[in-house]
Copies of this chain bind each other. A is one copy, B any other.
């Protein structure tokens, strides 16, 4: 792939995801630079060869030298960054992100952005309960999904570039969804599941619960260790989709509750058979 040769990629935001991107890209032979306001993160990444060089400020030359930029920031910070520093970006480049919500971000960034730089959104679905560059690992992409989220403003070239980025990072499956499809899907499979996990932990204070649980409770609450700054922002930025998915889920759970109230063994078994069948399809 021609594009790979000698290119420099800038990562803005050197947390778990930014650091993992940097690690994977550097291993592939790219020159990787980074900007993060936290000096320790930059120092750690340089000292551990996760990046080639970095800066704690929006360094004009560092930004201008990048042939592509990956933004691994919280949504609001991403918008602010583009507003303040987009003038330093090299003309003609593609930029992408890792943001977990799209509708409320993608159009805004595309509207703000200079005409000679193209933003193509993407979502690497490879989060962890740990954060920070020190927990970075390029292995987290191996069994994970990657979604490219173009709008009508994007060129086929940018979509192709962004899919290529997902492929070389090592993602298991690359898909393309519209911002609306993405947000509705993510509200269900990611945000709703986090709300459920939180509720399981906050709804009751079970003393010594660890002595009375099987794997099911452990699995359902693993993601209850949650970065409150990031997730509160994500929930509120995808508010409408999330609330409608919460309602859909609670309707369904209430149906199951009613089957139990009614001693409806056959109705319960039917739900369980459907659930088993769908989950088996999912495992394939």
Contacts and interface: CB of A to CB of B under 8 A. Distances in A.
Contact of A190 (B216, B268, B278, B282): B216
Contact of A252 (B199, B212, B213, B256): B199
Contact of A202 (B242, B257, B274): B274
Given A250-B253, A282-B209, A217 B200 contact: no
Interface string A239-269: 1001100111111111011001101010011
A175 B225 CA distance: 26
Contacts of A167: none
A189 B211 contact: no
A232 to B, nearest CB: 4
Nearest to A221: B279
Tally of this chain's copies: 2
Contact of A189 (B177, B185, B212, B253): B212
A107 interface: no
A102 interface: no
Nearest to A268: B232
Interface residues of A, number: 88
A194 B189 CA distance: 17
A145 B197 contact: no
Contact of A209 (B189, B205, B224): B189
A157 interface: no
A188 B214 CA distance: 11
For the residues of A in contact with B, the DSSP-based class is helix
B253 A195 contact: yes
A158 interface: no
A198 interface: yes
Contact of A197 (B127, B195, B213, B275): B275
A2 interface: no
A113 interface: no
Nearest to A223: B216
Given A193-B220, A223-B219, A257-B246, A145 B198 contact: no
Contact of A199 (B200, B214, B253): B253
Given A185-B206, A203-B252, A193 B216 contact: yes
A201 interface: yes
Contact of A275 (B201, B235, B256, B274): B201
Contacts of A214: 125-127, 144-145, 189-190
Instruction: Name the 9 nearest CB pairs between A and B, nearest first.
Output: A203-B252, A228-B272, A125-B214, A189-B217, A201-B275, A228-B269, A232-B268, A224-B279, A199-B252
